[in-house]
Chains A and B, each alone.
Chain A
């Protein structure tokens, strides 16, 4: 198991953003669904080792991120794309991706090839030498994805990765996700159920910091038959589970 979470809780003041979550997942693509404020981003930030949990246990890549040495080892094998992508406008795409490759301690001899591969993989090869300030929102998102995958991570965390991408790019991204999921554990937090349906082998639906549903997209679809509201079967499953959780 690359991600093992037991009774994980994260409080911000009196608010329990994540409330007793248990989760285990191995290689493949896991979709994190849920309404705003459900705790998806907080859970993802804890898995990204950016914030520590308030209680509970978390093991990533069979290591304890609470200890400095293992945390550093986890971070070497981790890719993270936060919801609000930050970037340096004066850097070129290659500079930006190389910078993160070096921060992730990719062996220096491998850096140029890894950077080139990551940039090509997100379809920014022709913009490799462009300054980030000249790129559109969708291209910036792709540059963010490139920095996340440059170290060929075993654990990849994407927070709203398709925000700003046009339909064609989203289709390409889903293909990339499926490809990445064959070797690594990919956790994708999203509002867009169609992303989950197209790319994820497993779905977790969160509501008020808790897991309201965990299963395959097909199982989620089945929960919505004759109950939920929405245009697509998966959306109906989503709304049905949420309605059940709220009641």
Chain B
């Protein structure tokens, strides 16, 4: 055997980009390599995966739904304690390590040196958070999510991470102690928990939002029917960005930070940051909660109130179900859910000729709702395809919690139990009315024939989602209704075709019902 000796190769030198060859670039590169943020971020990423990522991925692959957890500030919340703690640790480095005097005896103004250390820490935090969000959005996109990605919640999250990092660094610098970092992390975590439980106007400034308490409507159809309202996002960015700027300015106001001119500049930066935050607080004080989001009058663009034009996609049949193209994939499920109703009412005088999807007018939309309007009559139906027991509040503030959105919209049984009644009741009520006993009996009979379980109807009446009352057990109205429901479909349809106008006009009595 013979060995072939190769000449030793000189290690290849990687040419640094121009900016990294400057003093500031070299200093930043050094700080980036040695930033304590690098050590703590894997934990933040793990928490993000356990919390934000997993909570998001159980939601339907719709951009509006997948941004819901992000809109609750979950990604910022997951990162906040780690970022603020590591930043505070980095900020207190010189005092903790006893390099204060050595650093102070150098030419570079202390503010610049601190800003470099802080920038390195913030860069890592921002990069890690952005990567997490990018993975979340990337997977969502790969799943063929319908709609458009929402970027404002991402911007708010990133500015929140920056603000937490800057505040933590300032705390670590100005109150250097080994306890500052853990204390800052604990205090911020508790503060965020507290704002989650607060429903006040000023709590809107917090990046964390609770769908239970917040004045902000966290609707999964945000950005589908009308543009996503950026008013609150802009206010939050102004508030947190201002806080971040003020914190960075605070790093330069101490006597040891440099010449008086520099310290005055730092004080001016603090003032600008505080002014931005105060402005945001004033703006949020004027905020109004609407069904489509929070409106801040000074920032509101009227164009955001205009509906987004869309050509609905429709199913075939006598009474087509038409959905916004974003929800195209739900068309078969929605059609199947409403099929019994469509069969019953098709061709009846005054019956809807179409079922068009519209945005729900409520802040907390139900799984489905409907009303008949126009000539020829059209049923305007709203569906909450992003519904999920974890985030959705049903009528009266109660979560239904039967199932997840994915389970609901893929199961015929769930659809007939949860969706059909919410559409059938108002449609039948709009068609027949409920003023007299005959109308009430026919409505109940028709709903029974459609397949609305009487216990479900009782629930709807209890929560006032059904406009009609419910007849008591053993009453003549209930008996007539059951008799009407028991008729063959063709007989029932023929009778209604012939007598619906008289029934609506109150000219038919209970005894005249078949």
Residue ranges of A at the interface with B (Cβ–Cβ < 8 Å): 45, 48-50, 68-69, 72-73, 75-76, 78, 80-82, 84-91, 95, 98-100, 102-105, 107-109, 111, 144, 147
Contact = CB atoms under 8 A, between A and B. Distances in A.
Contacts of B107: 72-73, 75-76, 103-105
19 contacts: A68-B258, A72-B107, A75-B105, A76-B107, A78-B105, A80-B101, A81-B102, A85-B98, A86-B94, A86-B100, A87-B99, A88-B97, A88-B99, A95-B33, A98-B26, A99-B27, A100-B106, A102-B23, A108-B21
A86 B101 contact: yes
B22 interface: yes
Contacts of B99: 86-88
Contacts of A49: 105
Given A75-B107, A88-B97, A108 B102 contact: no
Contacts of B362: none
Question: Interface residues of B toward A: which range?
Answer: 20 to 34
A98 B27 CA distance: 9
Interface string B416-439: 000000000000000000000000
A50 B102 CA distance: 9
Contact of A80 (B21, B105, B113): B105
B355 to A, nearest CB: 65
Contacts of A69: 259
Contact of B113 (A48, A81, A95, A103): A103
B30 A95 contact: yes
B93 interface: yes
A88 B36 CA distance: 11
Given A48-B105, A69-B259, A95-B34, 7 more contacts: A68-B260, A75-B107, A86-B94, A86-B97, A102-B23, A105-B108, A111-B23
Contacts of B7: none
Contacts of A95: 30, 33-34
Contacts of A98: 26, 30
A99 B34 CA distance: 11
B456 interface: no
Contact of B108 (A84, A87, A89, A104): A104
A154 to B, nearest CB: 13
Contacts of A100: 102, 106
B104 interface: yes
Nearest to B109: A72
Nearest to B258: A68
B102 A86 contact: yes
Interface string B251-271: 000000011111000000000
Interface string B283-314: 00000000000000000000000000000000
Contacts of B36: 90
A224 B45 CA distance: 70
A108 B26 contact: yes
Contacts of A90: 34, 36
Contacts of A99: 27, 30
A90 B103 CA distance: 17
A192 B103 CA distance: 27
A3 B134 CA distance: 58
Interface centre among B100, B107, B108 (most CB of A within 10 A): B107
Contacts of B22: 108
Given A86-B99, A86-B101, A108 B23 contact: yes
B333 to A, nearest CB: 56
B108 A88 contact: no
A50 B101 CA distance: 6
A102 B108 contact: yes
A90 B117 CA distance: 14
Interface string B112-153: 010000000000000000000000000000000000000000
Contacts of A86: 94, 97-102
Contacts of A68: 258-262
A98 B30 CA distance: 9
A103 B235 CA distance: 38
A82 B259 contact: no
A3 to B, nearest CB: 15
Contacts of B21: 108-109
Interface in B203-223: none
